[in-house]
Chain A
Amino acid sequence: MTNEELQACLTGEFPKAEVKLGKQYVEILVESDELHAAAVQLSKVPELSFDYLFCLTGVDYPEKMQIVYHLESTKHRHTVVLKVNTADRIDPNVDTVSDVWQTAKYHEREVYDLLGVKFNNHTDLRRLFLDDSWGFPLRKDYKDEVRIVER
């Protein structure tokens, strides 16, 4: 599917979500309580069949934490960017999608480690790279007086 066709298809499939055509990919923004259902739908609907999650990350914006999923369908070769905003920036949590795309299990652990986003129903949510004594370094308000020199 081309991006325009994909956009039309997604608008039909997800009436509640916000679908727009970004600079490169079609982007779909869902509510955090609908994330898991949307993930299942994206992977299961035959016309979509997004089976390959190639990037999962989080971004710390001033008012919210955003989790970004880059998905590709190995069958149709189209790409979509799934986004979800957490309600709370300080104590963010969203549902896990590791039961839909298994690779998410460790990508989510990385996001938890570096941004402090909790993934509900995750089977093994522990820090990945850092020790328990660290804060969440990719947050914008992270302070480390020893290692980061303010200019």
Chain B
Amino acid sequence: MSETKEIIISSDKIHTDQYLVNMGPQHPSTHGVLRLLVRLEGEIVHHIQPHVGYIHSGIEKMCESLSYPQVIHLTDRMDYLSAHMNNEAVCLCVENALQVEVPDRVKYIRTIMDELTRLASHQLWWCVMGMDLGALTTFFYGLRDREHILDIFEETCGARMTLNYSVPGGVMFDIHANFQKRVKAFITEFRKKLPEYDQLLTGNVIFQERTNDIGYLSLEDAIAWGVTGPSGRGSGFSCDVRKHNPYSAYPLVQFEEKLDTRGDSFARYRLRIEEMYESLHIIEQLIDNIPEGDYAVKMKGVVKLPEGEFYQRVESARGEFGVYIVSDGKKNPYRVKFRSPGFSNLFALNKMAAGHKIADLVAIMSTLDLVIPDIDR
């Protein structure tokens, strides 16, 4: 209702050869129900107004009537490709509030799981990005390799995407006997496969033409719009939570925060590929050294947080994910807010895409790696 009104109001101001086009909510390149109201002049995009809320599910409201362990199960329904990071954020927040120190084994397992999730997410992003630009082969390459990670998840967690593996105080059950062996086999295999990604797509002339100098976002704009993750780092915004506010086993490992100052679609693409190498590097440092010990500390049957406010930041595959919990001392939270990376990243789209052709809008959206339930919550 309000949208139609808006179209009518703004159409008074429109120059005769500009027109409004709805891209979505059912559009293959939005990868979910997102609607962009695009003001066009010929093929040139003048302005983009994103409309969100098509799958708003009121998760924050639901959390207020659930206990803390139950809240965790909702978080991986938001950004289903960063499920484990989202779970971990709530667990860390609860553990910090209760001042519970988890065993080293848990920290190692969680960090390995984080990086495997990041790899799986970036693989899916890569294959979909190629497909958005018309290169269908990437889709098969990416999904082929992602399957190995999902199999590893299934063996240890019982689920392939919505893991629910982290619980307050540790992880739900110990890693499977095959876990280390299979992860190492995957790394050896994927180290051989990853250069194929470059051979197949990165060097392609059409791909280069469609991403270089397209969708520029300056460092100032990236900070002002809160664009985080590889999308923000592509503009030179040093925003890696793993570096600046390390958690779990990240203080123990060596890795680089990759930055690029070009700020275009290609920079954002390049960084995600490089992040995959870094993720492999992190897992390699941890996988052989998982300490012996318990996989969880004993927690009380009913988890109650002390009165106060608690915030936890983690680095999900898309950027900075935050959990803000206000507790009044009861067994369910008084207020929960999830700071989702996709929400902030999406609204910088107008900055990036205005002035480009409509086909470039698809390429730019792909480099943002949006997951719609993450935006709508």
**A residues near B, CB below 8 A?**
22-25, 51-55, 57, 59-60, 68, 70, 74, 77, 81, 101-103, 105-107, 110, 114, 126-132, 137-138
Q: Name the B residues within 8 Å of A54 (CB-CB).
A: 226, 228, 313, 320, 322, 339
Additional pairs, 16, CB under 8 Å, beyond known A59-B335, A110-B343, A132-B2: A23-B309, A24-B96, A24-B311, A52-B226, A55-B311, A57-B324, A57-B339, A70-B311, A74-B223, A101-B224, A105-B347, A128-B52, A129-B53, A130-B53, A131-B1, A138-B61
Distance (whole angstroms) from the CB of B21 to the closest CB of chain A? 20
A/B interface sample: 10 pairs, CB < 8 A: A25-B311, A52-B223, A59-B334, A70-B324, A74-B238, A103-B344, A106-B343, A106-B344, A126-B6, A129-B376
A132 & B53 in contact (Cβ 8 Å cutoff): no
Asked if A102 contacts B335 (CB within 8 A), the reply is: no
Alpha-carbon distance between A33 and B326 when the two chains are bound, in angstroms = 25
Q: Is the CB of A55 within 8 A of B2?
A: no
Check B244 for interface membership: any CB of A closer than 8 A. Answer: yes
- Closest 5 pairs (CB-CB, A-B): A129-B53, A103-B226, A129-B56, A57-B337, A55-B339
- Residues B60 and A138 in contact, CB atoms below 8 Å apart: yes
In the assembly, what is the distance between CA of A135 and CA of B60, in Å?
16
Contacts A59-B326, A102-B224; A129 near B52 (Cβ below 8 A): yes
Question: What residues of B have a CB within 8 angstroms of the CB of A132 in the complex?
Answer: 1-2
> Which residues does B use to contact A, with CB under 8 Å?
1-2, 6, 52-53, 56, 58, 60-61, 96, 221, 223-226, 228, 237-239, 244, 308-311, 313, 320, 322, 324, 326, 334-335, 337, 339, 343-344, 347, 376
The distance from the CB of A45 to the nearest CB of chain B, in whole angstroms, is 17
Q: Is the interface of B mostly helix, strand, loop or mixed?
A: mixed
* Residues from chain A with Cβ under 8 Å of B320 in the complex: 54
Min distance, Cβ A68 to any Cβ of chain B, angstroms: 7
Are B309 and A22 closer than 8 Å at their CB atoms? yes
Q: A127 touching B2 by the CB < 8 A rule?
A: yes
Chain A residues near B237: list those with CB within 8 A.
Answer: 74
Q: Given A22-B309, A77-B244, check contact A103 B324 (CB 8 Å).
A: no
Known: A54-B320, A54-B322. A102 touches B225 (CB 8 A): yes
Report B39 CB to chain A, min CB distance, Å. Answer: 15
Give chain A residues whose Cβ lies under 8 Å from the Cβ of B61: 114, 137-138
Min CB distance B228 to A, Å, is 8
Contacts of B376 in A (CB 8 A): 129
A130 to B61, CA, bound (A): 14
Which residues of the other chain, A, contact B322 by a CB distance below 8 angstroms?
54-55, 70
Q: Looking across the interface, which residue of chain B has its beta carbon closest to that of A23? A: B308
Which of A25, A59, A102 has the most chain B CB within a 10 Å cutoff? A102
Q: How far is the CA of A24 from the CA of B313 in the complex (A)?
A: 12
Q: Let me know if A130 and B56 touch, CB within 8 A.
A: yes
- Are B224 and A103 in contact, CB atoms less than 8 angstroms apart? yes
B202 to chain A, nearest CB (A): 29
- In whole angstroms, what is the CA distance A22 to B310 when docked? 10
Residues of B near A68 (CB, < 8 A) are: 309, 324
